[in-house]
Chain A
């Protein structure tokens, strides 16, 4: 295993001094007023200067949906591709241009319905792309149809009698696909969101960030039950590497394992922090990470933060490694030799 934690910063020379406004494009964002996407855009723009990449070396690639417009608003290179397929373009771009920083902006329908296969394979190949999935649990751009993360029984324009589909748990999908970095944040938690995007940007390898995002037009309050200011401390758990899994306004509750099953316990009465699970985002064993990706309100507090962060050699590095190794072993390819390969014979003039 090689250490891939250090980002391939721009070549030595002038330090890159950029600010948020360098990443604001000349196109005015056109999402609905009050949309959670504005917040994600602002936090992403704030996080960018810190990565040490020049603006021209950063590429945002999106699919279709409200999230798909994101690249237009970033003053970097950008590609608004087709529905569900952004990870494929990102894979090809990163493989052929490993020095670029490549982001994929997607939504719950784009990533988990039409593009599900590409999420699986870009993650398991550890392609060094940073996927940010806006999860509003609805199809917003097409005006309100059921999405793969919509609630069971949810009434939408295409499910007037209530959805008969059980929702996907996005983080479990990312973990099952062997993403090397998996995290969750919320559109209305600006600091947490910026920090999460920042950590994602610094990770080298397949990165999946779910952002719980509100669609105030077609699925208003999708996450309100646990994200509202008054309840969030009691209904969510903010994960920190190396810290026990404690939550609650009074930090009086925690998560422990009872056999192989997680349970919420109240501290006191003989239960101490020692009994609680301690978050280890770097654990190679993903069992607890799966658990964290799966537990949800109302049975459990909703985990946010970095759930998994492990180091594996990236797809682009492996591909480039094979090229370098072939050149080392065989010398740089000679076209004349390749053309004349196999048995040949000569016909005289």
Chain B
């Protein structure tokens, strides 16, 4: 639909769209992550549903202008609910030739490209590997290219400020942001407020970035190069108060909330590792909630200190990514045998070994479920979207406390850095996690068990009369003293397994989206939720017998999982790994499920899952 906007001076066509995907790309020093997150913030406040995907190199500053140094941020926003940051961008903002080269192939046919024309120097073109200037050689004729001399225009807008040319140049991303704000009718207010706060001590930077932003906005408004601007109406989200939140933010908030709900102090100890470090940084800001944080000397110390804190009656929490998880595994086993509540966060990244630290993957599921010596079962939970990280951080603690066990919480780089609008819950919607320490002498032994959950009592140092010793050696059933008795070891192994298995009675059943039985079930877990759900919605809209089920509890599985996977002729398990959930499902339920596995350090695209499903349905 096109109308004419009477508020602007010249005739501008307004195009109403349901959904737009924008990608900002530039040098890793160009501030693309800031640009993207400011655009997201304004979009969130505007009321669109949105989903974001930052994509940045592991090097903090790769050589300027190089292909390896390109940093990107993709946002998809919509007037209806969406679940993914979009497959192919409709609009690409490219701050230099390398950014153009790396990203142009992803753009939809006929998509819009906004480039900083000033950056297309012979030197930069050579660094990007362009023999000819793509802006002039006709290779971009399939796209709608807008070349803007951003560097020059921005420098002019900042004339007279007491800044070095280098400092001036660093603000050009805000010029580009201003253009985008105009193009999509976003408000500049949230960004202006953010600048005031961010540079409170450097007023000249506030002024500079403000000028850059407004110059970009004015450029959009007054020049003729854009004939259209785009309107994406606010989405109809469930009533409530919302904020835009990343997975790591939601994770940290969830843990803070869990400690308040449990009325126990949170103790987070961690070692810096991409992409989990933000959780430590954020929790360190919650000191006035009694939260204590420790940047430990290594991964092992981090989990050891967390176990020490839980032993003392606190909520001992540790977080890491795959390589750190590998180092922690002996300690997880210690928490299993001592039956101490503990939560271990793994924000997964592409492996093995150091792998691709900033890229996403779901390949630590086996590690979470099995990665210890001995039979050492541990519950595993995995949120499906950035906002859901909040609820599952709380769920991890609910299970840990109620069942006296370490729990692995599996996030990933896509969830951690991606964002979406999140409805802020009312406090009375949240579970009660209070569980008083055991202080009763009568009938007490360290390993006496709750008949329902098989959990042992949480007795903390300082409790008179209950002094006892625990540790990593096998325990005598009930009494908890050291035991090498063969039958006792067998019994304790069964008890540890049964204790975790019974958690299936304490978690909700696996929900099915779509027909309860039929031709095809797509079964996923973790961050692939959005792509699967979107693909299934599209297939269902075309009358296909396709259902989606998404596991948030990976060990144990919800008790109806077997019934669900047996109710369809075909089961497809898409994962960003080589088939780990697939293996578990096949092994547990003896169903002939099929895998769909793409491990490129990137989330699935909707179209990929849709196409795979269509293949299975015989449509292709």
Contacts and interface: CB of A to CB of B under 8 A. Distances in A.
B461 A59 contact: yes
B294 A92 contact: yes
Contacts of B136: none
A59 B256 CA distance: 28
A134 interface: no
Given A76-B467, A80-B469, A97-B313, A85 B301 contact: yes
B273 interface: no
A113 interface: no
B47 A345 contact: yes
B301 A117 contact: yes
A23 to B, nearest CB: 10
B334 A81 contact: yes
Chain B interface residue bracket vs A? 35 or more
A56 B331 contact: no
B242 A347 contact: yes
B267 interface: yes
Interface in A311-349: 319-320, 322-323, 325-327, 329-333, 335-336, 338-349
Contacts of B467: 55-56, 75-78
B286 A338 contact: yes
A347 B238 contact: yes
B465 A92 contact: no
A335 B260 contact: yes
B198 to A, nearest CB: 13
A81 B257 contact: no
Interface residues of A, number: 64
A54 B464 contact: yes
A55 B288 CA distance: 32
B481 interface: yes
Given A79-B311, A95-B267, A338 B304 contact: no
Contacts of A320: 292
Interface string B253-287: 10011001000010101000000000000000011
B240 interface: yes
Interface in A249-299: none
A336 B242 contact: no
B355 interface: no
Given A95-B294, A99-B462, A100-B462, A343 B45 contact: yes
Contacts of A331: 288
B271 to A, nearest CB: 11
B473 interface: yes
A64 to B, nearest CB: 8
B240 A347 contact: yes
A96 B482 CA distance: 27
A172 interface: no
A17 interface: no
Contact of B308 (A91, A335, A345): A91
A81 B239 CA distance: 50
Given A56-B465, A85-B301, A336 B427 contact: yes
Contact of A97 (B300, B312, B469, B472): B312
Nearest to A120: B297
A137 to B, nearest CB: 25
A334 to B, nearest CB: 9
Nearest to B269: A92
B470 A79 contact: yes
B469 A71 contact: yes
Contact of B287 (A27, A78, A91, A323): A323
A56 to B, nearest CB: 5
Given A82-B330, A89-B311, A348 B239 contact: yes
B299 to A, nearest CB: 10
A93 B239 contact: no
Interface in A109-129: 117-118, 120-121
Contacts of B304: 81, 85, 87-89, 91-92, 118
Nearest to A327: B288
A16 to B, nearest CB: 11
B101 interface: no
A121 B297 contact: yes
A25 interface: yes
B314 interface: yes
B309 A96 contact: yes
A323 B290 contact: yes
B257 A345 contact: no
B231 to A, nearest CB: 18
B466 interface: yes
Contacts of B241: 340, 344-347
Nearest to A27: B481
A335 B256 contact: yes
Contact of A80 (B47, B296, B471): B471
A321 B160 CA distance: 47
A57 interface: yes
A27 B468 CA distance: 11
Nearest to B425: A339
B70 interface: no
Interface in B242-257: 242-245, 253, 256-257
Nearest to A59: B461
Interface string B168-182: 000000000000000
A72 interface: yes
Contacts of A319: 292, 294
B301 A118 contact: yes
A118 B298 CA distance: 9
Nearest to B481: A27
16 contacts: A55-B467, A56-B466, A75-B467, A80-B469, A82-B334, A88-B304, A91-B296, A93-B312, A117-B297, A118-B301, A323-B292, A335-B260, A338-B253, A339-B425, A346-B242, A349-B239
The 7 closest A-B pairs by CB, nearest first: A88-B304, A80-B471, A92-B308, A92-B305, A333-B289, A326-B287, A349-B239
Interface of B: 41, 44-45, 47, 190, 236-245, 253, 256-257, 260, 265, 267, 269, 286-292, 294, 296-298, 300-309, 311-314, 316, 330-331, 334, 338, 424-425, 427, 460-473, 481-482
Given A89-B304, A118-B304, A327-B287, 11 more contacts: A77-B469, A80-B470, A81-B472, A85-B331, A95-B294, A96-B314, A319-B294, A323-B291, A342-B244, A345-B45, A347-B240
